[in-house]
A and B are shown apart, each in its own frame.
Chain A
Amino acid sequence: MRFVLNGLPMTVEAPGSRRLLDVLRETVGLTGTKEGCGEGECGACSVLIDGEVVNSCLVAVGQVAGCNVVTVEGLAAPDGALSSLQQAFIERGAAQCGICTPGMLLAAHALLQQNPRPSEDEVRVGLAGNLCRCTGYTKIIDAVLACRT
């Protein structure tokens, strides 16, 4: 199976029916994408497939053949410089326990790509698929709004 992962070509040997989440975490060894529920409810497993945010626990890896997949590990620049979203998350207290953070960053990233100047309501809509139990969402929304261009 061939796809592009965080900008680099990737080939994996895995049954096509295997969850993309498991392939990322166990076959490829990128554990930044988290399993919070296995039901597509919490968004902790969110990744981007061709720029769209999806729950990787609901994607069979065969379905990403030829696609561009981005995980949290692909958000920083190759030299390690954090994206403005990642930086804003740290500075504004948007990450507490951090378990929802990877999925949240990807959903926020996809939102800003599609809508560079969202309103607060649009941010809430864009992040509604990512559950957070620590922050009350307030500082997450602040961080995303701070990254409007």
Chain B
Amino acid sequence: MSDTTAAVGRPVLRREGGDKVTGRARYTDDLVVPGAWYGKTIRSGIPRGRVRTITYDPAFNWSQVVVVTAQDIPGDNVVQLIRDDQPALAAGEIRHREEPILLLAAPDRDTLAAAERAIRIEYDVLEPVFDLTLATETYSTIEISKGDVVGAFKGLKDGEVVERTFKVGLQEQLYIEPQGAIAIPESGGAIRVIGSLQCPYYVHRALKRTLELTDEQAIVVQAETGGGFGGKEEYPSIVAIHAALLARKAGRPVRLIYDRHEDLAATTKRHPGVIRHRTGVRRDGTLVAQDIEIVLDGGAYCTLTPVVLSRAAIHAAGPYACPNVRIRARAVATNTPPNGAFRGFGAPQSLFAAELMVEHVAERLGVPSLDLRKKWMLRIGDTTATSQTLTESVSAELVLAAALKAAPPVRPRPSGSPLGSAHPTVRRGRGLSLVYHGSGFTGSGEKKLGGKVAVEALPGGTFTILTASTEIGQGTKTIFTQIAADALGVPLEQVTVAPQDTSLVPDSGPTVASRTAMIVGGLIHAAAVELQERLAKSPKPKLPLRVDKTYVQPDTIHWDDQTYRGDAYPVYAWACTIVDVDVDMLTGEVRVTDLLSAVDCGKAIHPVMAEGQIEGGMLQAVGWATIEEIKMKDGGYQNDRLATYLIPTALDAPRIRTILVENPYSGGPFGAKGIGELPMDGPAPAIIAAIHDATGVWLDEVPATPEKVLAACASS
């Protein structure tokens, strides 16, 4: 066994970094596929109704293109996910204005555009529902209860009851590489789809169902992917189905690459919603009862809404111990484009409200909110809202202390004369939040997934990791090789990762839910350890030698899907975020100048990449809280170009500081927990608190746009 310095915990070079800085990395649209045609999706344009007629202009030569409608679908006209409600192509009632009606493919872009112009679709319009409070259809309801909330409020004689309602807005994931897939028909009825995606096996299942393909005939390959953040969790199934239908009918490869405008207009967004809190406390600050109602808008089709609602509900009480909790959550349908996965997945929404409630209760009691957090925060042995007893790796106190210790002194407030870059009409404020985020799938999710990996020893002394978990920038390939190399006791260079190709690698489950390091990394670790043991036992092992591992839920984890009680997640990651803002009192503009977060993710397999997740995730949350506003019109997004959907530039971004606190989890590889989504949870409520600190004004929603800030200041 060669001498190796442990790779885990070291900032080793990113596995595919060389390709990314030289232009060698091949993203979907970079791939040259000889003979490929170009595809396009023709969409509804009305938010609710039915197709009355489709007219194909006879002046156009239709033999030069391929047209696909619902009639061409061999299998089920359904986008396989949770509920079979979303058709691949509209066949009955249209439920949102971006609903795909038909598909076109042509040899070149000009012919494609001409074909699109030669189609006229007429609709019978039905009355749409846009307002979630007027929704008539519910996708999912969840009720979580602990103790006796009704009784607790009745018994709160000399206490305080604080009620507040919060709103959270839509958000676009805004991966810099738009959605796209290339479908290539192959021999034996096979179709290979190469695409920008997070979950090859989600796409695989969807293709099998809609195109009636066997496991072997459907081949899904992930190309280098330019960002996902959840936006490429379920949506790529639609792109893949469409590309495959076109390729099948055309008998040749088809490239279906979205431009930014289509991507902004038609793909899934973060669920917006309304969250109502009623909190009961004693005068001494003891937390007695939390009664919470959540309504999320799922848009026109169910997609992943029940799971988003689940995570939102489970996190809704915040990282606090409360004896009486009731959380009633529901997700409803509107005639807007379907909402879907986006980093955080419901938790940023409900934690926004939970954290601000701490501020409001503190204000009512006349005490610092920090005192309440210290009093209420979850500690080892406490139970959560789902009555989960926390037994290890509980770090609320740790991250709070670390953030406070690291926070720079509060900057002096301007006294009326300019102080350096301070302007007399700029007010400064600081805000803090404390959040937690469950690692892995909720409850029985991981058990149901049964994720699989394999590690194989090859002749020649190298090893390969076989997993469907994808690299989307977060460092999957790198951390997997670190984990495997250390477990095998070999240098990093001897370990490779096989391509994320469903014909080559097993289904490790989706690359979502902050599960990649902890769950899949854990499986890889176990497989590598066993492989190393088997190699060590035999003097001349027969190579290749492969060890497969399937996830088995530890029998210490108990969750009841019916009562929604028990161990919602194996473990939680924790973060305390402190933010400084400047508020321009003339314009309402909020500038986040400094952002710091102390984060416990158990063990940072790669400290630089862990910081990268935190820094990037937090800036996305800053955007959600400040400038990423989506205005609706007739059931569609007005912000449908990059000139109007605004994410922070380098000049908008604050200085971001990360403090990694490691409180290891015995069930994670080298102690690692999840980290991908946690950074999304902290900044938004901290920013609202900071705006209040600066101006004395409370906003109850995100984004806190200058228009809202100025109006709130003017009316106070």
Contacts and interface: CB of A to CB of B under 8 A. Distances in A.
- A and B touching (C-beta < 8 Å)? yes
A90 B18 CA distance: 7
Contacts of B26: 31
Contact of B260 (A38, A73, A101, A125): A38
A56 interface: no
Contacts of A105: 21
B71 interface: no
Interface residues on A, range: 35 or more
Contacts of A141: 650
Given A138-B656, A139-B608, A98 B224 contact: yes
Nearest to A99: B226
Contact of B176 (A25, A75, A132): A132
A136 interface: yes
A72 B647 CA distance: 24
A93 B260 contact: no
Contact of A127 (B18, B21, B173, B650): B650
A134 B616 contact: yes
Contacts of B176: 34, 36, 42, 44, 97, 99-100, 131-133
B473 A73 contact: no
B367 interface: no
B32 A29 contact: yes
B473 A134 contact: yes
B25 interface: yes
B406 to A, nearest CB: 15
A92 interface: yes
Nearest to B645: A41
B22 A32 contact: yes
A97 B656 contact: no
B642 A39 contact: yes
Interface string B1-44: 00000000001011011111111111101101000000000000
A124 interface: yes
Contacts, number: 166
Nearest to A95: B20
Given A127-B650, A134-B227, A136-B653, A36 B178 contact: yes
A128 B650 contact: yes
Nearest to A132: B176
Interface string A123-149: 111011111111111111100000000
Residues of A contacting B: mostly:
loop
Contact of A93 (B226, B608, B656): B608
A97 B476 CA distance: 11
A63 interface: no
B20 A98 contact: yes
A137 B650 contact: yes
B708 interface: no
Contact of B643 (A39, A44, A123, A137): A39
B647 A131 contact: yes
Contacts of B643: 39, 41
B229 A133 contact: yes
A99 B612 contact: no
B612 A97 contact: no
A136 B16 CA distance: 20
Contacts of A131: 176, 642, 647, 649
Contacts of B260: 36-39, 42
Nearest to B173: A133
Nearest to A22: B109
**Among B26, B260, B650, B653, residue most surrounded by chain A Cβ atoms (within 10 Å):** B650
B259 interface: yes
A96 B21 contact: no
B22 A139 contact: no
Given A41-B643, A90-B17, A134-B473, A99 B651 contact: no
A31 B473 contact: no
A134 B23 contact: no
Interface in B644-662: 647, 649-651, 653, 655-656
B22 A75 contact: yes
B474 interface: yes
A33 B178 CA distance: 14
A37 to B, nearest CB: 4
Nearest to A123: B650
A124 B22 contact: no
A90 B226 contact: no
Contacts of B228: 97
The 7 closest A-B pairs by CB, nearest first: A32-B23, A99-B226, A97-B473, A98-B20, A96-B473, A136-B615, A31-B30
Interface of B: 11, 13-14, 16-27, 29-30, 32, 173-178, 224-229, 259-261, 472-475, 608-609, 611-612, 615-620, 641-643, 647, 649-651, 653, 655-656
Interface of A: 25, 29-39, 41-42, 44, 71-73, 75-76, 82, 86, 89-93, 95-102, 105, 123-125, 127-141
14 contacts: A31-B30, A34-B226, A36-B260, A37-B641, A39-B641, A72-B23, A86-B21, A86-B22, A89-B17, A92-B608, A93-B608, A95-B20, A135-B616, A140-B650
